[in-house]
């Protein structure tokens, strides 16, 4: 793999762009000042309110000539006059920025011309790249380490495919001058007619901890022999409902417990969040009480476990911390679901630290030629 060439070919809009992470903004007390009430700004406000942002922190600004600037992070749609930009943290809340190459280039040109820094992009309010794609350039060493740590060539290819797909802007970045008039070429993007190859397992119970992202298509891809002996830990009621609906449709009998694997036993107050197309949308809902339990505790009740599937995202490390006895028995561990791109290489590296002798394989799940996601298999040596 020619990594030099890969990093050199990354689009400038990915490598140069500054990013304001929405969680950082939500956890601060700063304000967002939206320049004018354009449609995109109204949509942005709507999404921020969905995410639980206080309305008083969001403000539309309709300045008259000569008006003094407002305090806060200024958010604009399109390119505004220099007077508006100076001495301010500017986030270009434009859906096409930085994903649209032409638009990005025009903003960049204007900035250079006026000797101004490039504006910041609020990733969740912009479009063009997969969530976390902007970290490809800055996390070079981590990516290379993850690539090295994977057990076989096939897994390494999968990681490269994942990175390449994330570094390609979405459709709105169509190059109308290209031969294909902007219609993506399936051969160059990540949808390949390759089915997931799940490892074969000896008889025994399989534990599946399902966090926040239920996907019926992934369940459909799982071998039937796995489903019959699977115990599913699914703390979210909505996901449980979807899971039971799926089971009724498929006529599959599933054993489900409403607990979340963690490093302690007890209860946790948690805001439910849902993922949509790579962008976490957190509707303003009441937090729910989640029952937490160590995986060791659960296996003490259920008996021996042959394999553990974990789709837990942020809770992964806590779950593994509460599974010391279980892991000591060396079951097969499958980690699934990377809601943000950087989680892919971060998880590989962390798993290598936790399981220094294990073989790590990255695989992809496709059903009917549609990419459903990736999972990392940790095979005990």
Based on CB atoms, which residue is closest to another protein, 299 or 349? 299
Residue 271 touching another protein (CB under 8 A): no
Query: Site residues for another protein, window 201-220 (CB under 8 A)?
Result: 215-218
Q: How far apart are CA 188 and CA 344, in angstroms?
A: 21
Based on CB atoms, which residue is closest to another protein, 119 or 352? 119
Based on CB atoms, which residue is closest to another protein, 107 or 358? 107
In terms of Cα–Cα distance, which of 264, 273, 318 is closest to 293? 264
CB distance 14 to 40 below 8 Å: no
Residue 373 touching another protein (CB under 8 A): yes
x-or-dash string of contact with another protein, 292-331, rule CB under 8 A: ---------xx-----------------------------
Which of 66, 202, 203, 277: binder of another protein (CB under 8 A)?
277
Non-local (6+) Cβ contacts of 223 within 8 A are 198
Residue 42 touching another protein (CB under 8 A): yes
Residue 195 touching another protein (CB under 8 A): no
Based on CB atoms, which residue is closest to another protein, 139 or 293? 293
**CA-angle at 150, arms to 200 and 198, nearest 5°:** 20
CB atoms within 10 A of CB 334: 21
Which of 3, 50, 197, 287: binder of another protein (CB under 8 A)?
50
Residue 109 touching another protein (CB under 8 A): no
Tell the smallest beta-carbon distance from residue 381 to another protein (Å).
31
Based on CB atoms, which residue is closest to another protein, 117 or 186? 186
Residue 189 touching another protein (CB under 8 A): yes
Q: Which residues pair with 233 in a beta bridge?
A: 209, 257
Of 62-70, 143-151, 232-240, 311-319, which part binds another protein (CB under 8 A)?
Answer: 232-240
Q: Which residues bind another protein (CB under 8 A)?
A: 39, 42-43, 46-47, 50, 78, 94-96, 100, 102-103, 127, 170-172, 176-177, 179, 181, 184, 186, 189, 191, 215-218, 237-238, 240-242, 244-245, 247-251, 253, 255-258, 274, 276-279, 281, 283, 301-302, 368-373
């Amino acid at each position: 793999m020619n990594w030099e060439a890969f990093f050199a070919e990354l689009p400038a809009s990915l490598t140069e762009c500054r990013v304001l992470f929405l969680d950082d903004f939500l956890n601060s007390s700063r304000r967002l000042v939206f320049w004018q009430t354009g449609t995109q700004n109204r949509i942005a406000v709507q999404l921020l309110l969905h995410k639980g942002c206080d309305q008083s922190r969001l403000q539309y600004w309709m300045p008259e000539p000569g008006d003094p600037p407002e305090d806060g992070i200024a958010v604009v749609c399109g390119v505004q006059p220099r007077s508006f930009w100076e001495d301010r943290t500017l986030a270009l809340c434009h859906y096409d920025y930085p994903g649209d190459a032409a638009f990005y280039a025009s903003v960049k040109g204007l900035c250079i011309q006026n000797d101004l820094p490039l504006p910041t992009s609020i990733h969740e309010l912009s479009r063009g790249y997969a969530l976390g794609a902007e970290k490809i350039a800055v996390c070079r060493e981590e990516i290379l380490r993850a690539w090295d740590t994977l057990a076989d060539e096939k897994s390494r290819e999968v990681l490269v495919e994942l990175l390449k797909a994330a570094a390609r802007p979405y459709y709105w970045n169509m190059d109308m001058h290209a031969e294909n008039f902007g219609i993506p070429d399936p051969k160059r993007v990540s949808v390949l007619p390759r089915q997931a190859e799940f490892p074969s397992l000896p008889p025994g119970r399989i534990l599946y901890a399902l966090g926040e992202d239920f996907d019926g298509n992934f369940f459909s891809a799982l071998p039937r022999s796995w489903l019959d002996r699977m115990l599913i830990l699914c703390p979210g009621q909505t996901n449980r409902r979807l899971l039971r609906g799926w089971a009724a449709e498929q006529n599959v009998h599933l054993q489900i417990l409403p607990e979340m694997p963690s490093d302690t036993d007890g209860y946790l107050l948690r805001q439910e969040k849902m993922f949509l197309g790579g962008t976490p949308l957190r509707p303003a809902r009441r937090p729910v009480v989640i029952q937490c339990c160590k995986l060791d505790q659960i296996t003490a009740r259920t008996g021996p476990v042959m394999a553990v599937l974990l789709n837990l995202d942020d809770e992964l490390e806590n779950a593994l911390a509460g599974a010391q006895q279980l892991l000591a028995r060396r079951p097969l561990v499958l980690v699934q679901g990377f809601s943000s791109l950087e989680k892919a290489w971060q998880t590989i590296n962390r798993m290598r630290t936790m399981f220094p002798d294990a073989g790590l394989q990255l695989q992809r799940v496709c059903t009917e030629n549609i990419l459903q996601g990736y999972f990392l298999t940790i095979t005990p040596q």
